[in-house]
Structure 1
Amino acid sequence: MSQIPVQDVTPKSKKGQTENFDLYAKREHIYVKNYTGIFKKFRQISSFIMLLMFFGFSWLTWDGRQAVLFDLPNRQFHVFGMTFWPQDFMLLSWLLIILAFALFFFTVFAGRLWCGYACPQFVWTWIYIWIENHTEGDRNARMKLDKQKGWSSEKIRKKGLKHLLWIVFSIASAVAFVGYFTPIRELIPSFFAAELGPWEFWWIGFIAVATYGNAGWLREQVCIYMCPYARFQSVMFDQDTLIISYDEQRGENRGKRKKGSDYKAQGLGDCIDCNACVHVCPVGIDIRDGLQYECVACGACVDACDDMMERVGYPKGLVLYTTEHQLDGNKTHIMRPRLIGYFAVLCAMFIAFAYTLYSRIPLEVDILRDRGQLFSELPNGNIENVYTLKLANKEQVDHDYSISVSGIDGMEYKGADVVTIKSGELLDLPVRITVAPRYLSKANNTILFKVEALDNQSISIEEENRFIGPAPKR
C-alpha cells in the first residue's frame, strides 16, 4: 500500500531545536485616529439613519397604538398598521430569505458594504470610539494617557467620564430595544421609577452589559472571531467585486522622502509609508498587505490615504475602491451573470412578498369538526354535526362578522349569525348544522363556511369542511 509522503516543516531554531509558538496572542488595543473624508460622511449618514430608526420607530403611533410593537404575551406583532400572528411565521421566514439574498447581492457587487456602513455592531463601535475621542483626546493623547503609570486625577476624570457615557448609552440602547416588546411610553416611566418587572429588568441589564462589552471593549474581536460573515464572505467575491485595495504597482517601493525630491529616481513609489491607513483602521490591519478577511470595507483607509496624498501633492487613489480586474489592467464587468441572477431572484422574491402582504386578509378562520362522534341523529330524524369555529381578528380595529354555510340543500345553521371580534381577539364559536337525511346523497359531504366583515367586504374567507351522515340506503 502506497503512503502519502510527509515532510516535517516544523520551524527549527538556530541550534536545531524546535521552537515553541503560542496559539493565543494577547489582544493589542487599537487606537483609532480621527479622520475626515467622503466615505466617513457616507458612514455617518447611514449610521444616523439606523440610529434614528432604532430609537424612533418605537415612539411612532398608528391608529392609537405603538406603530412597531412585538407583543409576546399576546402573540401579536404590530408593524405599521398590520398585525402578525404566530401563524404568519412563513412571512418572517420569507423576509429573512429576501434579506439573505440582498446580502449576497451587495456582497457580490461591492464586498462588505453591510459591515462597513450598516452593521449594528460597527455603528455602535464607531459611536463608542467617538465618545472615547471626545473624552480622552485623539489617538496620540489616548496612547499617552494609557502609558501613564498610576492614576492621576486627569486620568481618572477622563476614563471615568468615558465609561460613564458608555454605560449611559448602553442603558439607553437597551431600553430602546426592550421598548419594542413592552410599550415604550409605559417602559420609560417604569424605568425611572425603578418599577420594572423581572422580564424588563433582566433584558435591559443583559443588553446593556452586552452592548457595553461588545462595542466598548471587544469591538473588532466580535467581527473577527464571533461573526460568521467574515469567514464566508470571500466565497461570494469574484474578480469584478468592488473591494478596498492598495495599488501596489503605484505605491511600491514605499519609503520616506523629502518633499519635492525626485523620489522616482530613488526607486520609490507614491506610498510615503506614513501608516495613516493603519492608524484609522478600526480592525487594526494594514490594507497594503492585501485583501484580508478582517477588513470591514468601511473606507477609513481610503479617506486617510487620499488626505495624505493631497497634502504631499500626489494623485489620490493609492488606496481605493477597485476590482482585481482593474488592478491588473483589465476591464471590469459590473453587469455579469452572477450579479444579474442575484438581482433577478431578489426582485422576484420582493415582488411576491409585497403582493402577499398587500393581498393578505387580516382574518384567521379555522374550523374543527367534533371528533367525539361522526354525527348524531335527532329525535325528528335529522342528522346533526357539531363544529368549533376559531376566528381571529388580525386587524388593529374591531369588526362585526357574518357567518353563513352552504353546500347542501335544506341545511339548518344553529349558531350566531353575526359576531363581534375585538382587535387581536381569538374567538371560539360552537355551531351546529342539521340536515334532513333525504338531502344527503352520500355519507361524506362538502360544505362551505363563509366569514365576512360587515363593514369591509374585502375581509372575507371561505373555508371548506365535511358534513358526515349515515351511508344512504341502496
Structure 2
Amino acid sequence: MSDQIPTREEQDGDGEVRYRMLYESEDKVYIRHIRGFYTRIRKYTGLPLLALFFFTPWLNIEGRQAVHFDLPARQFHIFWTTFGPQDGFLLAWLLIIAAFALFAVTTWLGRVWCGFTCPQTVWTLMFIWAERICEGDRNKRMKLDAGPWNAEKILRKGGTHALWIFISLATALAFVGYFYGIRDLVVDLAGFQAHPQGVFWVGFFTFATYMNAGFLREQVCKYMCPYARFQSVMYDRDTLTVHYDARRGETRGPRKKGIDYRAEGLGDCIDCYWCVQVCPVDIDIRDGLQYECINCGLCVDACNSVMDKMEYPQGLIRYTSEDELETGKTQLLRPRLFGYALVLLLMAGLFVQQVVTRSPIEAEVLRDRGARMFRESQGLIQNVYTVKINNMDQAPHEFTIRVEGKVGYDYTLRMPRDIYLKAGEIFAVPIRVSIPKEQLKDAKHDIYIVVQAVDKPELVDKHQTVFIGPKR
C-alpha cells in the first residue's frame, strides 16, 4: 500500500499529479518581522496575560499564596475563596461555559483565540523574538543557518538557545508554582531539597515548552491541535476571518511604482510574498480559506504596509466575511450567534450567582449505623447522629450546633466537645438528640441540624434528617 497522498490536486505543467510523502518533514519557517495594527493588538493582549501568568503565583493574601492548587490537601485556593472536591461540579460548569464561549467567538471572529491569546502562539512568538534579538531578522537568520559553523554562528545560536531555555524554565517554575507553592519551590530547588515530583515536573514543562515553542511551532497548530479540525463546523458565510480580495488583487504581478498597472491587466497584488513570509503557519492566504490559518492578522499588517508603499488603498487582505467579499454586506446578528451568546450569558450569570452565594462551610449529617434506631432512657427518646463539618473558609471558626423541628417539641442536644476548626479543616463529631417520650406524637418526623459559626453568624448550613421513635 502506498504511503503517499496527492496534495490539493497539485499538478505539474504536463498535467501529472504531484505526490508528497505522508510523513515528510517540512522546511523551517523563517518569519519576517512586521509592525502594524494587529501586531499592536497582540502586544496589548499578550503582555497582560503573560504578566498575569508569571506574577499571580507571587501574590499573597492573608499570609498564603493567592492562587494555589493544593492537590495533596485537595484544596484549590483562588484569592479569597477555597474550593474542595465537593465543588467539582463548578469546574465542569466552567468548562461548559468555556466551550460555549469558544463556539460563540469562533462563529463571530473565527480562530481569533488561536491568533492572539493561545499559549502556543504567544510562546512561539516569544521564541521568535529571542531569535530576532540574537540572530537578526528573516534574511539574516536564513543566511546564518545556510552558512558554515564559526565563532559568530556558535555565539548567536548559543544566545538564542540560552534565551529559549530561560523562558522555558521561567514558564515551568511559574506553572508548577501554582501547585507546589512558588516560594517553597524556588527555595527548595535552590537548596537542592525539592521533592522529586517537583523536580520532575519542572524539568518536564521546561523541556515541553522548549520543544513546542522552539521546534514544533506551526506543527502543533497544523497537526496536533483539534481546534483546527472542527472549526469549520462553527464557520458560516458571515464569520469574520482573514480573507484575500481576489477580485481586487488578481492578476498578480510585479510592477513599478507610478505606472498604469490596470491598463496592463494587473490587480493590486504585486506578488511580493510578504503575506507568506510573516505567516506563523507558513500558508499563502491568497489560496483561500485554509484550516491551518490561525487568524493572527500578520498577513494583514504586511499587506497594508506594502499597499502604503505602493500608494494603493489598504485592505487587499483584511478581516471580512465571504458574504462581504461577494455582496459588500455582512450580517453580524444572526440566529446561531445570538443563540450561542444567549446561552453563554445565561450560564455565566448562573455560575457567578452560584459562586457568590456559595457557603464556605458545609455540614453533612449521618445517622450512626452502629446504634439502634432509637434509645429510651429516663423518659427520653434519643437518636445518635454524626455531624461532619467542613470549614472551607480562609479563617478558623468556632461552631455551634442546634436542632430545629416541629413546634412544641423540646429538643435536647448533647455533644462531647466544643468545635473549633482551622481554615480548611474537616471534623466529624457525634451528637445525641433527645425528645421527651410524652411529646413524641409521631414515630418518624423531620428535624434540621443547624451548624453555625459563632464569630460569623452568616456562615450557617442547615441539613435535614429524620428523628425516629417508637410506634404509637
TM bracket, shorter-chain basis: over 0.9
Is the 1:81–1:396 Cα contact (8 Å) retained in structure 2?
yes
C-alpha distance in 2 between matches for 1:341 and 1:206: 41
Alignment deviations for residues 19-42 of structure 1 (CA, whole Å, 9 cap, x no partner) = 975222212110001110010000
- 2:287 counterpart residue number: 289
Q: Does 1:95 align with 2:82?
A: no
**Distance verdict in 2 for CA 1:18–1:334, change over 3 Å:** closer
Aligned amino acid, residue 182 of structure 1: Y
Structure 1 residue 443 displacement after superposition: 2.9
Q: Secondary structure at the match of 2:459?
A: strand
Q: Secondary structure at the match of 2:261?
A: coil
Q: Secondary structure at the match of 1:187?
A: helix
Structure 1 residue 193 displacement after superposition: 2.2
- 1:3 counterpart residue number: none
Q: Does 1:123 align with 2:129?
A: no
- 1:435 counterpart residue number: 435
C-alpha distance in 1 between matches for 2:325 and 2:90: 43
Aligned amino acid, residue 130 of structure 1: W
Is the 1:270–1:314 Cα contact (8 Å) retained in structure 2?
yes
Q: Which moved more, 1:96-105 or 1:273-282?
A: 96-105
Alignment of 1:295-374 (within 5 A): 295-374=293-372
C-alpha distance in 1 between matches for 2:19 and 2:44: 48
- 1:155 counterpart residue number: 153
Structure 1 residue 18 displacement after superposition: 11
Alignment deviations for residues 1-57 of structure 1 (CA, whole Å, 9 cap, x no partner) = xxxxxxxxx999999x99975222212110001110010000011110110110111
C-alpha distance in 1 between matches for 2:189 and 2:462: 47
**Distance verdict in 2 for CA 1:234–1:359, change over 3 Å:** same
Is the 1:374–1:468 Cα contact (8 Å) retained in structure 2?
no
Aligned amino acid, residue 287 of structure 1: I
- 1:232 counterpart residue number: 230
- 1:138 counterpart residue number: 137
Aligned amino acid, residue 80 of structure 1: F
Q: Aligned pair count?
A: 462
Alignment of 1:415-454 (within 5 A): 415=415, 418-454=418-454
Q: Which moved more, 1:409-418 or 1:269-278?
A: 409-418
Is the 2:371–2:384 Cα contact (8 Å) retained in structure 1?
no
Aligned amino acid, residue 78 of structure 1: H
Pick the aligned partner of 1:398 from 386, 396, 413: 396
Aligned amino acid, residue 444 of structure 1: K
Structure 1 residue 439 displacement after superposition: 3.0
Is the 1:178–1:200 Cα contact (8 Å) retained in structure 2?
yes
C-alpha distance in 2 between matches for 1:293 and 1:331: 24
Q: Secondary structure at the match of 2:451?
A: strand
Is the 1:375–1:383 Cα contact (8 Å) retained in structure 2?
no
Q: Secondary structure at the match of 1:349?
A: helix
C-alpha distance in 2 between matches for 1:259 and 1:11: 33
Structure 1 segments, 4+ long, off by >4 Å, are 10-15, 17-21
Aligned amino acid, residue 413 of structure 2: Y
Q: Secondary structure at the match of 2:180?
A: coil
Q: Percent identity?
A: 48
Is the 2:127–2:213 Cα contact (8 Å) retained in structure 1?
yes
**Distance verdict in 2 for CA 1:12–1:425, change over 3 Å:** closer
Is the 1:403–1:418 Cα contact (8 Å) retained in structure 2?
no
Any unmatched runs of 5+ in structure 2?
A: 1-8
Structure 1 residue 329 displacement after superposition: 2.1
TM-score (norm 1): 0.93
Structure 1 residue 383 displacement after superposition: 3.1
Is the 1:375–1:385 Cα contact (8 Å) retained in structure 2?
yes
Alignment deviations for residues 409-450 of structure 1 (CA, whole Å, 9 cap, x no partner) = 233211158521111000111111233333333332211101
Is the 1:401–1:453 Cα contact (8 Å) retained in structure 2?
yes
Aligned amino acid, residue 340 of structure 2: Y
- 1:389 counterpart residue number: 387
Alignment of 1:2-13 (within 5 A): none
Any unmatched runs of 5+ in structure 1?
A: 1-9
C-alpha distance in 2 between matches for 1:12 and 1:236: 32
C-alpha distance in 2 between matches for 1:13 and 1:336: 43
C-alpha distance in 2 between matches for 1:418 and 1:407: 23
Q: Secondary structure at the match of 1:264?
A: helix
Aligned amino acid, residue 106 of structure 2: T
**Distance verdict in 2 for CA 1:18–1:352, change over 3 Å:** closer
- 2:210 counterpart residue number: 212
Structure 1 residue 255 displacement after superposition: 0.5
Q: Which moved more, 1:21-30 or 1:356-365?
A: 21-30
C-alpha distance in 1 between matches for 2:171 and 2:221: 20
Alignment deviations for residues 214-242 of structure 1 (CA, whole Å, 9 cap, x no partner) = 11110111111111111111111111111
- 1:221 counterpart residue number: 219
- 1:177 counterpart residue number: 175
C-alpha distance in 2 between matches for 1:240 and 1:374: 70
Structure 1 residue 313 displacement after superposition: 1.1
Is the 2:375–2:383 Cα contact (8 Å) retained in structure 1?
no
**Distance verdict in 2 for CA 1:14–1:347, change over 3 Å:** closer
Structure 1 residue 377 displacement after superposition: 2.9
**Distance verdict in 2 for CA 1:127–1:332, change over 3 Å:** same
